A and B are shown apart, each in its own frame.
Chain A
């Protein structure tokens, strides 16, 4: 458990580092001259490759240059955060456009996602992918912010909850931490957007750290019941607890029943 969590953190740090390096070189490539398109990691290359992907799987809904169609909103202000969130949670590409996009298996490789993200980012200006630094995060503050801002929909334990008309706030138990940060900046679907005026970068960082904690909390007291609270507790108390005791009293009185069965006495 613990070691896997550390592994995740290390992996995340590695990813963050890699992203930083990539962006650094991309920036350098751009400033180095527009003619340089041979380097496979340049921003322009990413955008170009992303455009190809976009033309095959996104254009039918989001239209040429992402201007939108009746089947999908314009992406001109979506930004990299939104594209990254939609792609890494498997929401896009969507199969049908009239339901809440479900979390699906991610459809693209990491490279393809970076290409698509770069392309969507180039369509206009939207929120960039937030930078996380969990070491500098304040989990306690994150917990308070989470309970105040996120728990009303996602539940205090992050297991999600129902909203009206068939919509629901999904569980955050499996969501990637970067996507948690992106979700706040983007406000997907029914979820409100928490822009920098509502939550500072540091606060976003704190909340992400608390979600990270919730995905693997200190769990004293034995098996958690999926954090569904009194509903699950009631079932366990009645079905398992009382159920076991019913078996006990049946067992205690078994002799009578055996005798009764011989004599035809009723056993209600």
Chain B
């Protein structure tokens, strides 16, 4: 197996007559099949346009472009396992029942229908625990892959014009994923998730003016509220998943329309894409990756216990357990709550409670900053040009430094959110740890940002003079990039246009 490199013109006229020359030489059989398939589709649906466009789509062959795909496939796994779980779950936290399933130490305990069905899934439904665990592991990996993907896009400047819209869509997907994760593990009505909901409630009602109203809207009264699980359930299984699917559709459509970015390198210009064609190479790689993701998650679900709600017990408002942590992606907000000194302010007769500063403000700043970043950066650089060739992180040291600083900031908060576990593990004192984290919260982003900045400069210095400028060179469009030494790197016929004229975000 060798890589089939191909370049794709920025915007080949969709109805041009270009054929995919390179794979024809290399995989005659596959090409014939692809051709027949294409004609078949065309004669019946007339989507040759779409079909050819899609099959010829070129994917850059860099590992970091697959991070988003890991997220996508985790989402597919979440959908599949989630559907199975809905068959057995009962989102009723007010109706009580006497547990009589096969988990001995809980037999005879009065539990809610929701908790009862969670135990049933874990102990009495065929494959229930496995599916439940895969679902939960998939959620953790899903958000993790999104964060990595987001980092890749950020540090390489892939959000620059014309991709601002997709950046915004991506940030929204990130937020939806976090929200749905929280909603998901809150459904089970166990002691741990109840503790999380209690914190969520106190943060929610701390929002000035609308907070209390939102609180009673979602919880159906003061905490614990009768309705919260019944309301989170449709949000978790229907509303947010549909929103995610809609956003994904936009995300991928825009991606196809814009075509991929690619790293600077041989043949890479702002008006082409260097990589592998969708058919056949990429399809097989993507398919393989899907099964790897599914396999890894199934393996985790099968061999590593996650969220043993039978030990946490049913939620009782008056009980708590020590070491109550949220899932990892909420950890930084938990950390902010733990580190925040007990401030409270009164403005114009309103008391702004402490959780507002610790829970709402940091989230608003981080997500607001994320959303606004393309415009913030443009303000600084005054760079309004389109970019399809990526920056390497070292190429824009100040952006890299800021990104590293923000990661350090949220990272410190995340560790602070598990301070009680860490101090027991390392034999420290909680109070020392809080002060350590408070100092680190401000010191570490500055230090790590500075180090990142110096590192970028140093790497640049080692690179020597900057690489060739990556401006479009229209006259070498057709085969110029391929004509040098590598026969595998084939220019697509009919190119020559700019990458993509439209700019949805600016429209």
Contacts and interface: CB of A to CB of B under 8 A. Distances in A.
A143 B3 CA distance: 60
Contact of B140 (A160, A220, A241, A257): A241
Contacts of A161: 322-323, 420, 424
- The majority secondary structure among interface residues of chain B is helix
Given A155-B321, A249-B289, A213 B105 contact: yes
A233 B66 contact: no
A256 B61 contact: yes
Given A165-B431, A228-B323, A210 B300 contact: no
B306 interface: yes
B322 A169 contact: yes
B321 A223 contact: no
A148 B319 contact: yes
Interface in B63-108: 63-64, 66-67, 69-70, 103-108
Interface stretch (A6-14, A17-25, A111-119, A259-267): A259-267
Interface string A225-250: 10111110111111011101110111
Interface string B337-371: 00000000000000000000000000000000000
A250 B325 CA distance: 32
A242 B70 contact: yes
Contacts of B292: 245, 248
A222 B107 contact: no
Size class of B's contact patch?
Answer: 35 or more
A69 to B, nearest CB: 27
A169 to B, nearest CB: 7
B200 interface: no
B137 to A, nearest CB: 6
Contacts of A241: 137, 140-141, 144, 296-297, 300
B341 to A, nearest CB: 15
A168 interface: yes
Interface stretch (B23-31, B48-56, B263-271, B375-383): B263-271
A218 B103 contact: yes
A164 B2 CA distance: 60
Interface in B279-302: 285, 288-289, 292-293, 296-297, 300, 302
A7 B326 CA distance: 38
A144 B316 CA distance: 10
A151 B431 contact: no
B452 to A, nearest CB: 14
A83 interface: no
Nearest to B417: A231
Interface in B297-332: 297, 300, 302-308, 311-313, 316, 318-328, 331
Contact of A162 (B141, B263, B302, B424): B424
A265 B266 contact: yes
A163 B322 CA distance: 9
B505 interface: no
B105 A160 contact: no
B263 A147 contact: no
A52 interface: no
Contact of A228 (B62, B123, B326, B421): B421
Given A244-B296, A245-B145, A160 B304 contact: no
Size class of A's contact patch?
Answer: 35 or more
B429 interface: yes
A140 B105 contact: yes
B148 interface: yes
A224 interface: yes
A96 interface: no
Interface in A164-210: 164-166, 168-169, 210
A252 B285 contact: yes
B393 interface: yes
A109 B66 CA distance: 62
Contacts of B266: 263, 265
Contacts of A237: 137, 140-141, 144, 300, 328
B129 A221 contact: yes
A157 interface: yes
B109 A144 contact: yes
B136 to A, nearest CB: 8
B322 A164 contact: no
A238 B63 contact: no
Contact of B141 (A220, A228, A242, A248): A242
Contacts of B404: none
A268 interface: yes
A227 B148 contact: no
B156 interface: yes
A81 B311 CA distance: 29
A139 interface: yes
Given A143-B105, A253-B62, 7 more contacts: A148-B318, A151-B322, A152-B320, A221-B133, A221-B308, A241-B297, A256-B61
7 contacts: A140-B104, A160-B424, A217-B311, A223-B305, A237-B140, A250-B63, A268-B392
